[in-house]
Chain A
């Protein structure tokens, strides 16, 4: 039974990767990389010192959200289409547990994330040393895994592109900036003298506990000033914990859904 489920998961994952190829994901990724090359050349012309670092940092800062956006749109679009075309219902009417479908889809998205990171890292090797690019790329993969799991969970919850993507965008922006927001909330300007301020600080802290701190992933500083390998453990642990959390939420929602 377990072996059969593994085969089913592999089949669904392979179909997901094929879907990415056929919906021109690779072409869009190519366009993103081409824009990245253009940006690198442009910034290389503008910078008057630390040219390589400037090129590496700005290109990476462009490619990282670009890859996240591509990934999220692919995941949400793919799942929303599958449900609106009733393909998911057809698939789930077979002898296939919902968890197997979910894990198969998630595995497929994770493979697409890995296939996204490799060419991005290859491009950055032109501007930054290999160890720094390796750390940046590995943590970017972790970030994309979290985002793919989040996009899948939002797609299953909302079933429509617009609300799912809006929720995803809010999640991404908050997760990226939550560290700075928490620092502001605990800064000297917030005195916590009134009840409102205290509540606000607790709210910010609460949101911080719920979200992953994505600012620890894919830091451009590594490309400019060398890798900090202690970040690998933090990013790896956070990726495992958060993918597990999002997967459990997505699965919970999928099992409760009346198809």
Chain B
């Protein structure tokens, strides 16, 4: 290749130094510019689903993955870090929803909703995200139950809202199929009731489960039977009074 080139002397004298000069000028230009300033950008509203379908160029799963990584990193824009609680959660939910439509089999958006966005110390935002998890769980309970199970825990221990936790736990119990959703998840409402001090209600639920014949696994049956016995013992030696125990019992037996 070198032999095919003409000697350096063939280049006009003025032109020989021009590239180096231009390069120095470019570097000087960049050095003279003010340092880039980080500026927080608001999360934009997601485009309509049909537009996203076109933008996917026939590969919606790949677009879903790309969007998920982009959304997940939105709190960390170049040179700036935005706390999750400053994000517009309605928009975050809209994006997560779009991503789930693009790839209904992925668990990623629900994991992000339950374990990232629902962990912010901001109850209204947490409630929004948990409601989204519950809504999406109902669309595909057998696949998405882990996130509603996590939502039960967040509602119970972070939000300190046992009613909400019980609502989620009952959704799990009512919608999860036995072969896909493990027993401990379907029985979470029992433990929530116990935590609420609703011992009688928990006892009725366990008794109902045992009588229903739905529990076929002998280990699970024994575990629940032990639980029931323990609750029976507590009933004999009752703890502090529970104000809405009767209402709870009525609701459960209806």
- Set of chain A residues within 8 Å of B195, measured between Cβ atoms: none
Are B58 and A184 in touch, CB under 8 angstroms?
no
Are B59 and A47 in touch, CB under 8 angstroms?
no
Are B111 and A46 in touch, CB under 8 angstroms?
no
Given A58, A177, A184, which contacts B65 in the complex, CB threshold below 8 Å?
A58
**Beyond A46-B73, A50-B106, A224-B106, is A180–B61 a contact (Cβ under 8 Å)?**
no
**A249 at the A/B interface (Cβ < 8 Å)?**
no
**Cα–Cα, bound, A60→B72 (Å):** 21
Are A46 and B62 in touch, CB under 8 angstroms?
no
Among A100-108, A151-159, A195-203, A212-220, the stretch that binds chain B is: A212-220
- Set of chain A residues within 8 Å of B252, measured between Cβ atoms: none
Chain A interface main SS type: helix
**A160 at the A/B interface (Cβ < 8 Å)?**
no
Which residue of the partner chain A has the closest CB to B52?
A180
Minimum distance in angstroms from B114 CB to a CB of chain A? 11
Which residue of the partner chain A has the closest CB to B63?
A61
Chain B interface main SS type: helix
- Set of chain A residues within 8 Å of B105, measured between Cβ atoms: 221, 224-225
- Set of chain A residues within 8 Å of B55, measured between Cβ atoms: 177
**A95 at the A/B interface (Cβ < 8 Å)?**
no
**B27 at the A/B interface (Cβ < 8 Å)?**
no
Are A224 and B61 in touch, CB under 8 angstroms?
yes
Are B65 and A57 in touch, CB under 8 angstroms?
yes
Per-residue A-contact encoding for B41-77, CB less than 8 Å = 1, 0 else: 0000000001001111111111101101100110000
**Cα–Cα, bound, A173→B65 (Å):** 20
**Beyond A50-B108, A180-B56, A215-B59, is A187–B50 a contact (Cβ under 8 Å)?**
yes
**Cα–Cα, bound, A84→B85 (Å):** 62
**Cα–Cα, bound, A49→B116 (Å):** 12
Per-residue A-contact encoding for B84-122, CB less than 8 Å = 1, 0 else: 000000000000000000010111100110001000000
Minimum distance in angstroms from B94 CB to a CB of chain A? 18
Which residue of the partner chain B has the closest CB to A214?
B58
**A43 at the A/B interface (Cβ < 8 Å)?**
yes
**A98 at the A/B interface (Cβ < 8 Å)?**
no
**Cα–Cα, bound, A259→B63 (Å):** 46
- Set of chain B residues within 8 Å of A221, measured between Cβ atoms: 59-61, 103, 105
**Cα–Cα, bound, A221→B60 (Å):** 8
- Set of chain B residues within 8 Å of A54, measured between Cβ atoms: 65, 68-69, 108
Minimum distance in angstroms from B108 CB to a CB of chain A? 5
**Cα–Cα, bound, A50→B108 (Å):** 7
**Beyond A46-B73, A220-B59, is A58–B54 a contact (Cβ under 8 Å)?**
no
**Cα–Cα, bound, A256→B56 (Å):** 39
Interface size on B, residues (CB 8 A): 26
Which residue of the partner chain A has the closest CB to B69?
A46
Are B72 and A180 in touch, CB under 8 angstroms?
no
Are A177 and B58 in touch, CB under 8 angstroms?
yes
- Set of chain A residues within 8 Å of B57, measured between Cβ atoms: 65, 173, 176-177, 215
Given A57, A58, A180, A213, which contacts B53 in the complex, CB threshold below 8 Å?
A180
Are B62 and A220 in touch, CB under 8 angstroms?
yes
- Set of chain B residues within 8 Å of A220, measured between Cβ atoms: 59, 61-62, 65
**A179 at the A/B interface (Cβ < 8 Å)?**
yes
- Set of chain A residues within 8 Å of B68, measured between Cβ atoms: 54
Which residue of the partner chain A has the closest CB to B105?
A225
- Set of chain A residues within 8 Å of B65, measured between Cβ atoms: 43, 53-54, 57-58, 61, 220
**A88 at the A/B interface (Cβ < 8 Å)?**
no
**A181 at the A/B interface (Cβ < 8 Å)?**
yes
Per-residue B-contact encoding for A216-255, CB less than 8 Å = 1, 0 else: 1111110011000000000000000000000000000000
- Set of chain B residues within 8 Å of A53, measured between Cβ atoms: 65, 106
- Set of chain A residues within 8 Å of B56, measured between Cβ atoms: 177, 180
Kindly list the 8 A-B residue pairs having the minimum CB-CB distance in the complex, ordered from nearest: A215-B58, A61-B62, A180-B53, A176-B57, A221-B61, A220-B62, A180-B54, A184-B50
Given contacts A61-B63, A177-B55, A181-B54, 17 further A-B contacts (CB under 8 A): A46-B72, A50-B107, A54-B108, A58-B66, A61-B59, A65-B57, A176-B58, A177-B54, A180-B53, A180-B56, A187-B50, A214-B58, A219-B58, A220-B62, A221-B59, A221-B61, A225-B61
- 18 A-B pairs within 8 Å (CB atoms) are namely A46-B72, A46-B73, A48-B112, A49-B108, A54-B65, A173-B57, A176-B59, A177-B54, A177-B57, A180-B50, A184-B50, A184-B53, A216-B58, A220-B59, A220-B61, A221-B105, A224-B61, A225-B105
